[in-house]
Copies of this chain bind each other. A is one copy, B any other.
Amino acid sequence: MAKSSITDVAAIAGVSIATVSRCLNNPDKVSEKSRLKVHEAIVKANYTPNVLAQNFRKGRTNIALVVIPSIGDPFFTEVVRGIRSVAEEKAYSIIISEAQSGSEAGEDLLSMLASKQTDGIILLASTPPFPPDAVTSESGHNKPIVIGCETVSAELSVLPSVHIDNVGAAADATDYLIERGHNRIALVCGQAGSLLTKDREAGYRLALRKAGITLDPELIVSGDLSIEGAIHATRSLMSLRHRPSAIFCTTDEMAMGCLHELKSQGYQDVSVMGFDDTRYAAVTEPPLTTVRQPAYEIGERTMLRLCELIAAGDSVEYLGKTADIVPHRLVIRNSVGPGS
């Protein structure tokens, strides 16, 4: 059957196309009688609206773009789940873009941002993958952006964001390690440039200073966020003359690599602290003590926020409170033992 349009339906129902359209979009603006006729005609014609035409006409696609550092990381997939849950509710689809931490990403995303058919953007990526001025509306696009997980940098601070208190959380984790008697605590973190890394490192330093432990720069290793990166980091850490008694990884994913490397090299007594509390944290060996971020909730709230912004449109420059801080929590399992 040839694709039928609103015109066919109108013809069959014996009304104008305007009535058909209204029947679909503002049913209360149309009489009971017409509504019935139209609905009947719709099934008779086997009509489904042409979404592309609708998008074109309305200037909206009901698609949101989500930029993520890594689809693989179970933490982010959980955030995406949260995003998706409210997206579904609001009849949104999401397109996920993996901002490979490489250099080209910036350009790429920027063009994508302009070209892609999305109503708004959620940035979960650590490093804002484009120059800050790109977000101002001068540069052509003026789509709402919400930042998730990540403390926003000063330049981007106009953008709304949803995240935990990264400094505080890292400090809490470090505090706990100190409390358990550790004083040579290593830090394995992500790329040096990322804000997230910066914040967590700041928390780590803060806790150390508060406890009067002098920081040993050798104990801070930054790699990428991968398992392999963490394995290398751990290896180099353990080959130090003065080894750490505990390793704080700023990601569960990295903690998994770390645990593995320690195990396979036979280091029994080194403690490991993770960050995120992904669903694997409970099944590592030993089960991972870590900092819980409410990933799903973060996802929900970022998407909710985005929807607000989209709904607001150009009408109001929505400048309410821009940072939404969600609570974190230390989850104690078995990977941290008493310090030597």
Q: How large is the interface on A (under 10, 10 to 19, 20 to 34, 35 or more residues)?
A: 35 or more
- Most central of A56, A115, A283 by chain B CB within 10 Å: A283
- Report chain B residues within 8 Å CB of A259: 283, 285
A9-37, CB under 8 A of B: which get 1 and which 0?
00000000000000000000000000000
Q: How far is the CA of A55 from the CA of B285 in the complex (A)?
A: 51
The CA-CA distance from A282 to B61 in the complex, in Å, is 42
The smallest beta-carbon distance between A1 and chain B, in angstroms, is: 8
Contact status A63-B256, CB under 8 Å: no
A256-B227 in contact given A78-B72, A81-B71, A96-B96 (Cβ < 8 Å): no
Interface residue ranges of A280-331 to B (CB < 8 Å): 280, 282-285, 287
Count identical subunits in the complex: 2
Judged by a CB distance under 8 angstroms, whether A52 is at the interface is yes
Please give me the residue from chain B that is nearest to A114 by CB atom.
B48
Identify which of B53, B78, B116, B227 contacts A279 (C-beta below 8 A): B227
Q: Which residues of B contact A52 (CB under 8 A)?
A: 52, 55-56, 59, 61, 117
Question: A51 at interface (Cβ–Cβ under 8 A)?
Answer: yes
A51-B117, A260-B283, A260-B285 given. 5 additional CB < 8 A pairs? A46-B140, A51-B115, A93-B95, A93-B116, A285-B285
Residues from chain B with a CB closer than 8 A to the CB of A74 are 72, 74
Instruction: Report the Cα distance A72→B284, complex, angstroms.
Output: 17
User: How long is the Cα–Cα vector from A283 to B95 in the complex, in angstroms?
Assistant: 31
CA gap between A51 and B287 in the complex, in Å: 49
CB distance from A284 to the nearest CB of B (A): 8
**How far is the CB of A250 from the nearest CB of chain B, in Å?**
17
Please give, as numbers and ranges, the residues of chain B lying within 8 Å of A109 by CB-CB distance. Answer: none
What are 25 A-B contacts with C-beta separation under 8 Å? A50-B56, A51-B116, A51-B117, A52-B59, A52-B61, A52-B117, A61-B117, A63-B95, A63-B117, A71-B77, A72-B77, A72-B78, A74-B74, A84-B98, A93-B97, A93-B116, A94-B95, A94-B96, A95-B95, A227-B283, A260-B283, A260-B285, A260-B287, A263-B285, A284-B285
Instruction: Say yes or no for A257: interface residue by CB 8 A criterion.
Output: yes
At the interface, yes or no: A123 with Cβ under 8 Å from chain B? no
Instruction: Check B61–A71 contact: CB distance below 8 A.
Output: no
Q: Which residues of B contact A280 (CB under 8 A)?
A: 227, 256, 280
CA distance A98 to B117 in the complex (A): 21
A81 closest partner in B (C-beta) = B71
Docked CA distance A287–B259 (Å): 12
